[in-house]
Structure formats: structure tokens, C-alpha cells
């Protein structure tokens, strides 16, 4: 189906006008816009009009230092515009020589000097000024990295469980993640043309994504149970690996997860993915392609707040969606195969894979790799990259795995890691199971602090746990600056979603495995309200819980909040 045939479906308001994003995609000449002209505009450090949105399809967001925005207004200076770049790293695997290149760029050419590991299993540069953007892409290209389609209305970086133990299964799953990523990439050559001085080519058709791309962002994972580190229910499309005697045989396909919502709009809600059934490996790319194509054609292009796959499923029904995918892909889903998620956290420290290689997972608070006063994390990572023969894996929990270390190299790598604070036994379980999105000062959507606030909040929660004599235990705690979902607070046992400076909505009732959506407990409150409330709840949990009952399960069993079973009806009830 070509672009011109895409109409708002009859189930949607046919008289309504497409959102402005649809106009800008259709007028963008396949994501080119006038980005090249903006690059030569000396007057501003930002991108103008449509290009502001279009650079997202090339993996960049225009941001500014919000801390100093009012000050710069007085100085008659424009906001300190810069871009954040999110690399495309399927499965989060990055090689040592690539690491060295990004380490140097982060130090020399970014405002913050850091490498950021993100919940999308990749790294981000924050604070790149316009004159450095082209050079950045060219540098990345020289080491085999790009940032195509890591943002915007496209299929974004494909996640893959990092599980280093079952090394063969991981290798297969990773290869599928990379293949799916390639298969669903935009076909336009705009990226190479604009950033790599590539040859100007004719406008390309977009057979899979469509000439106006997808109605909304689209996220895909390949997951190896029982670890749900990628949080399948935060993603539009998930391939849950089904193995037979350690060999990958196919996937259960989960569609329609997503956590974003809008404050005050009850038509928006976080939603778990539905299991469409099992597919053998040979259908993988076709199913990926046609889940995307059905969402492309059925997704709402009028109202962006109702455009994600999760709403398409609720509008048309999961069965109808599944039937259309089968129809287009020329296959039938088999009944789901059994699998179980038990946890989401990373296994810190050394583990040995079945291939005899060793893997060291290190905790990176907030995913921020920088040389801190007494913790030169960035230097440590660089020194490891200088001698490491395996690879690095960035986890969906913003941590780092130094993977594929031969037995004889373990000691040296461990020594570097210890010397640079990458191994730090002081971190509590609570800290390692807490997460935040980037938020202020760079994210334009942020309403409240998240990353900068998390360390302090964790300390306060640690104190509560200690007070109730469960200091060794933990509650999955996530803080986000806005309700758009980056930090996956809507799959936490205790989730805080920013509403305004110092004010959060507090959600309770997610579980350890990440298979339950939490529910609103306190609205628009500050620490003065939510810390005493948490204190009381932790006290109750410790004295009344069943054996091994986690906090999230406890609050559901005691009906402190109602369980969210069907998001559309239960979440706002």
C-alpha cells in the first residue's frame, strides 16, 4: 500500500485532519527536509521548523540546558541549543575499538563529557553543538556505528537480552535482533547524504515503513526468558525466545506493550503486550515486517496520543490485528509455548558462560559514565577497552557488561575495574534495582527531576529499609521526569512520575518480573507526603508479608491499590 492510500480508518474519525507530524513526514522528501541548509545557518545553534522533528529520525533530539534557559533569555542569547545523539546498537553490543572512539568524542566534543548508557540498550552523547554534528556521524561511521532511526516514528534500536551465560542462545538471539533492526530500517539514503556527504540519490520508496513512516514510535525486543531485563511490556513488538535443549527454535510474539501516557488524559494508559502465539524462526522477519505494516496502516494518524500499537490493538481488537498480520505474512501463529519471566535485574560481578568465557557486569549509577571525583568510571572503561579482547554489552538497566573475557585476562580487568570504581561493593541492592530517566536539565519534556534526584531518593529509601530491618532487600524503584515512559516507571513496584518541580505521582504494585502495571496511589505529592507514606507501607509489608512476598505483590494482595488487569478499563478506574 502506498502512502497516498493511507486514510484514517473507518474506526477512527474519518473527518478529522491528520496531525501536523504527518504533514512534515510527507513533505520531508524521505527525511531530508532542509536539514543541510540548517547546518550552514550560522545564526542559530538549533534546527528550524520541521527539521527540529526530522533530525529525530536520524537519531538526534534537539535539546538545551534548561537550567540556564531563563538566564540566557536575559542575556539576549538563544537557549543553549545542542543535540543528544542516540546510537543504533542492536542488542547493546559494542566493540572495544568502537568504545575508544566514542570515549574520545564524548570527552572532546560534548558539553557534558559523558557517555550515557540508556534503557534502550545503547549509548547517548549529550550536548553536541551544531558545528560538531557532522563530524560526530562521520566518526561513528568510521567505526561502524550509525544512529539511523533510533528516534522518530520508526522502529527504533532493537533490544536483546544480554544474558551472557547461555552464550550460544544469546548469540542466536542477538543475530536475530541485528537482522530485525536492519530489515526494518528506513530505506532512504538521507542519513548518508546529509551526514556522511554521501552521493545525492533519487527519492527512495519505503516499502515497509511507508512513505510517511509509522504513526508513532515503535519499539522491538528479542528476549530470552526468564530474564525480562528488556521489559517486554514496554515494547510494541517482542520476540520471546523459545529454546529446545539450549537451541533457539522460534519465538512467542508479544505485541502492543507501551508505557507512555499523558497526565490528565484518561484515554492514555500504560499497557502490557498481548501474546499472539508462537512462530518458527523462518517467519521472524515476515512477522516483524507485517506487525509493522499493519500498525503503519491501522494506526491513528490523527491523534498522536492514540497512535501507538497498544491503542491500535484496543481499537481494532487483538484478534483482528493478529488475523491481518497472518494474512499479510502468509502464515499462522501457533499456540504460545510456555515460558516464564522471573526477574529483570542484572547479575553483577563475574559469571562464566557455557562457552567458558567470563563476563563481568558492573553497576553504572544512572548509566552515566564520567570521571567522578573519586570514581573515574570513564577512564576505567577506556583502560579496559584498551586491553579487552571480547566486547561490551550495554544492558537495558543502564549497566555495562565486559563480556567474553578469557580466564587468563580476568585478573587484569578486575583490577582496572576496582581501581576505577567500576566494582564497588558499597552499592546496596536497593541502589542496583533503582532506575531513572535522564530528565533535567537536558530533556525538553521533563517536568521534574529524575536522574539527578535518584541517588538522594535511593539513600532515603535505604534508610527506610534499614529502619524496618530489611536493609539487604530491595524494591524495584523507578523515577521518571514525565509520563512518556523512558525510565519504565510504569513497570516498577514503586514508580514516581514527575508532575512539576519536586512533585510526583506515586504508583504502586508492579512486580519483580515486570508483568504487572502499577496503579496510582498518591497524586502530585512531594517527599514530605510520599516518604512517610512509603515508610508506613514498608513497615506493614515487613510485618505482614508472606514468605518471599515482594513489596509489589504485597500491596496488591492487601488491596492497598487495585490490580491493573486490563489497562484500558482498570488503570484509571
Catalytic pick from 32, 116, 217, 431? 217
Measured from the CB of residue 134, what is the shortest distance to other proteins in angstroms? 13
Catalytic pick from 160, 381, 486, 550? 486
Task: Give 436's strand partners.
Answer: 479
Contact 318, 274 (CB under 8 A): yes
86 counts as catalytic: yes
Who contacts 234 (Cβ-Cβ below 8 Å, separation ≥6)? 219, 257, 258, 259, 485, 488, 490, 491
Catalytic pick from 482, 488, 512, 519? 482
Contact 446, 412 (CB under 8 A): no
Q: Which of 78, 326, 473, 523 forms a contact with other proteins (CB under 8 A)?
A: 78
In the complex with other proteins, the residue whose CB is nearer, 83 or 525, is 83
Measured from the CB of residue 50, what is the shortest distance to other proteins in angstroms? 17
Contact 554, 536 (CB under 8 A): no
Helix, strand, coil percentages (3-state) for the chain, rounded to 5, are: 35, 20, 45
In the complex with other proteins, the residue whose CB is nearer, 80 or 506, is 80
Q: Which of 1, 77, 407, 573 forms a contact with other proteins (CB under 8 A)?
A: 77
In the complex with other proteins, the residue whose CB is nearer, 38 or 193, is 38
Binding of other proteins by 43 (CB under 8 A): yes
- SS3 for 437? coil
In the complex with other proteins, the residue whose CB is nearer, 42 or 425, is 42
Rounded to the nearest 10 degrees, the angle between the axes of helix 318-329 and helix 309-316 is: 110
Rounded to the nearest 10 degrees, the angle between the axes of helix 454-467 and helix 527-544 is: 40
Measured from the CB of residue 315, what is the shortest distance to other proteins in angstroms? 42
Measured CA to CA, the distance from residue 297 to residue 9 in angstroms comes to 8
Measured from the CB of residue 42, what is the shortest distance to other proteins in angstroms? 5
217 counts as catalytic: yes
Contact 28, 54 (CB under 8 A): yes
Catalytic pick from 88, 156, 271, 378? 156
Residue 203 CA to chain centroid, in angstroms?
Answer: 31
Binding of other proteins by 280 (CB under 8 A): no
305 counts as catalytic: no
550 counts as catalytic: no
In the complex with other proteins, the residue whose CB is nearer, 29 or 77, is 77
Contact 12, 305 (CB under 8 A): no
Measured from the CB of residue 69, what is the shortest distance to other proteins in angstroms? 12
Task: Give 248's strand partners.
Answer: 243
Measured from the CB of residue 37, what is the shortest distance to other proteins in angstroms? 14
Q: Which of 70, 131, 198, 444 forms a contact with other proteins (CB under 8 A)?
A: 131
Binding of other proteins by 68 (CB under 8 A): yes
Measured from the CB of residue 229, what is the shortest distance to other proteins in angstroms? 38
Catalytic pick from 25, 437, 488, 519? 437
Q: Which of 5, 40, 76, 244 forms a contact with other proteins (CB under 8 A)?
A: 76
Give the count of residues interacting with other proteins (CB under 8 A): 15
Q: Which of 80, 255, 259, 360 forms a contact with other proteins (CB under 8 A)?
A: 80
The answer to whether the bond into 261 is cis (omega within 30° of 0) is no
Measured from the CB of residue 357, what is the shortest distance to other proteins in angstroms? 43
Catalytic pick from 109, 189, 219, 344? 219
Who contacts 152 (Cβ-Cβ below 8 Å, separation ≥6)? 53, 54, 56, 57, 58, 213, 217
Binding of other proteins by 104 (CB under 8 A): no
Strand boundaries in 109-174, DSSP class E: 115-117, 123-128, 159-160
Who contacts 145 (Cβ-Cβ below 8 Å, separation ≥6)? 87, 88, 89, 94, 98, 102
DSSP class of residue 188 equals: -
Quick one: which of 107, 108, 62 has its CA closest to 85? 62
In the complex with other proteins, the residue whose CB is nearer, 42 or 426, is 42
Binding of other proteins by 66 (CB under 8 A): no
Side-chain half-sphere of 271: how many Cα atoms within 13 Å? 27
Measured from the CB of residue 526, what is the shortest distance to other proteins in angstroms? 29
Binding of other proteins by 562 (CB under 8 A): no
From 38-46, 55-63, 140-148, 530-538, give the range in contact with other proteins by CB under 8 A: 38-46
From 15-23, 37-45, 347-355, 399-407, give the range in contact with other proteins by CB under 8 A: 37-45
Q: Which of 4, 15, 40, 42 forms a contact with other proteins (CB under 8 A)?
A: 42
Contact 151, 86 (CB under 8 A): yes
Measured in residues, the chain has a length of 573
Measured from the CB of residue 78, what is the shortest distance to other proteins in angstroms? 6
Contact 240, 256 (CB under 8 A): no
- Which phi and psi angles does 572 have, rounded to 5°? -95, 0
Side-chain half-sphere of 168: how many Cα atoms within 13 Å? 10
443 counts as catalytic: yes
Binding of other proteins by 127 (CB under 8 A): no
Measured CA to CA, the distance from residue 84 to residue 410 in angstroms comes to 34
Q: Which of 20, 71, 265, 472 forms a contact with other proteins (CB under 8 A)?
A: 71
In the complex with other proteins, the residue whose CB is nearer, 74 or 200, is 74
Catalytic pick from 32, 56, 86, 378? 86
Task: Give 392's strand partners.
Answer: 94, 402
In the complex with other proteins, the residue whose CB is nearer, 64 or 172, is 64
Task: Give the end-to-end CA distance of the chain in Å, rounded to a whole number.
Answer: 39
> What residues make contact with other proteins under the rule CB under 8 A?
42-45, 68, 71-72, 74-78, 80, 129, 131
Residues annotated catalytic, as ranges = 86, 156, 217, 219, 437, 443, 482, 486
Amino acid at each position: 500500500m502506498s502512502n497516498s492510500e493511507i486514510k484514517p480508518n473507518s474506526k477512527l474519525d474519518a473527518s478529522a485532519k491528520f496531525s501536523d507530524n504527518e504533514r512534515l513526514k510527507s513533505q520531508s522528501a524521505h527525511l531530508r527536509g532542509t536539514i543541510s541548509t540548517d547546518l550552514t545557518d550560522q545564526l542559530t545553534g538549533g534546527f528550524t521548523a520541521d527539521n527540529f522533528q526530522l533530525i529525530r529520525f536520524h537519531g538526534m533530539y534537539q535539546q538545551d540546558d534548561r537550567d540556564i534557559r531563563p538566564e540566557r533569555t536575559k542575556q539576549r542569547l538563544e537557549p543553549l541549543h545542542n543535540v543528544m545523539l542516540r546510537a543504533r546498537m542492536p542488542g547493546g553490543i559494542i566493540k572495544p575499538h568502537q568504545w575508544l572512539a566514542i570515549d574520545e568524542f564524548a570527552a572532546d566534543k560534548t558539553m557534558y563529557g559523558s557517555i550515557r548508557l540508556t534503557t534502550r540498550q545503547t549509548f547517548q552523547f549529550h550536548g553536541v553543538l551544531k558545528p560538531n554534528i557532522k563530524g560526530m556521524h562521520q566518526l561513528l561511521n568510521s567505526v561502524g556505528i550509525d544512529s539511523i532511526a533510533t528516534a522518530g516514528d520508526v522502529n527504533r534500536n532493537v533490544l536483546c537480552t544480554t544474558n551472557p551465560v547461555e552464550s550460544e542462545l544469546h548469540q542466536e538471539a542477538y543475530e536475530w535482533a541485528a537482522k530485525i533492526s536492519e530489515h526494518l530500517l528506513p530505506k532512504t539514503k538521507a542519513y548518508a547524504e546529509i551526514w556522511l556527504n554521501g552521493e545525492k540519490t533519487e527519492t527512495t520508496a519505503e516499502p515497509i515503513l511507508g512513505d510517511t513512516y509509522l504513526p508513532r514510535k515503535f519499539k522491538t525486543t528479542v528476549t530470552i526468558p526468564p530474564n525480562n531485563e528488556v521489559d517486554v511490556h514496554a515494547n510494541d513488538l517482542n520476540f520471546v525466545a523459545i529454546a529446545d535443549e539450549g537451541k533457539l527454535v522460534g519465538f512467542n510474539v508479544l505485541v502492543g506493550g507501551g508505557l507512555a501516557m499523558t497526565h490528565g488524559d484518561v484515554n492514555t494508559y500504560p499497557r502490557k503486550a498481548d501474546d499472539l502465539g508462537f512462530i518458527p524462526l523462518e517467519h521472524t522477519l515476515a512477522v516483524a515486517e507485517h506487525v509493522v505494516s499493519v500498525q503503519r496502516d491501522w494506526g491513528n494518524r490523527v491523534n498522536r496520543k492514540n497512535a501507538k500499537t497498544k491503542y491500535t490493538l484496543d481499537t481494532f481488537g487483538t484478534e483482528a490485528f493478529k488475523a491481518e498480520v497472518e494474512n499479510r505474512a502468509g502464515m499462522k501463529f501457533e499456540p504460545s509455548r510456555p515460558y516464564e519471566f522471573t526477574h529483570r535485574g542484572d547479575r553483577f560481578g563475574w559469571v562464566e558462560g557455557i562457552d567458558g568465557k567470563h563476563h563481568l557486569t558492573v553497576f553504572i549509577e544512572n548509566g552515566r559514565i564520567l570521571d567522578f571525583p573519586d570514581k573515574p568510571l570513564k577512564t576505567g572503561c577506556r583502560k579496559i577497552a584498551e586491553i579487552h579482547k571480547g566486547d561490551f554489552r550495554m544492558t537495558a538497566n543502564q549497566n555495562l557488561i565486559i563480556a567474553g573475557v578469557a580466564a587468563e585476562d580476568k585478573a587484569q580487568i578486575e583490577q582496572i575495574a576496582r581501581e576505577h570504581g567500576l566494582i564497588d561493593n558499597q552499592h546496596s541492592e536497593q541502589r542496583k534495582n533503582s532506575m531513572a530517566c535522564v530528565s533535567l536539565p537536558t530533556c525538553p519534556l521533563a517536568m521534574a527531576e529524575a536522574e539527578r534526584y535518584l541517588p538522594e531518593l535511593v539513600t532515603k529509601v535505604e534508610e527506610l529499609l534499614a529502619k524496618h530491618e530489611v536493609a539487604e532487600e530491595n524494591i524495584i524503584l523507578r523515577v521518571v521526569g514525565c509520563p512518556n515512559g523512558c525510565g519504565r516507571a510504569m513497570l516498577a513496584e514503586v514508580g514516581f512520575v514527575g508532575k512539576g518541580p519536586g512533585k510526583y505521582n506515586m504508583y504502586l504494585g508492579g512486580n519483580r518480573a515486570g508483568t504487572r502495571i502499577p496503579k496510582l496511589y498518591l497524586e502530585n505529592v512531594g517527599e514530605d507526603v510520599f516518604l512517610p507514606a512509603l515508610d508506613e507501607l514498608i513497615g506493614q509489608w515487613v510485618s505482614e508479608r508472606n514468605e518471599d512476598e515482594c513489596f509489589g505483590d504485597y500491596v496488591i494482595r492487601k488491596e492497598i491499590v487495585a490490580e491493573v488487569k486490563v489497562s484500558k478499563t482498570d488503570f484509571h478506574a
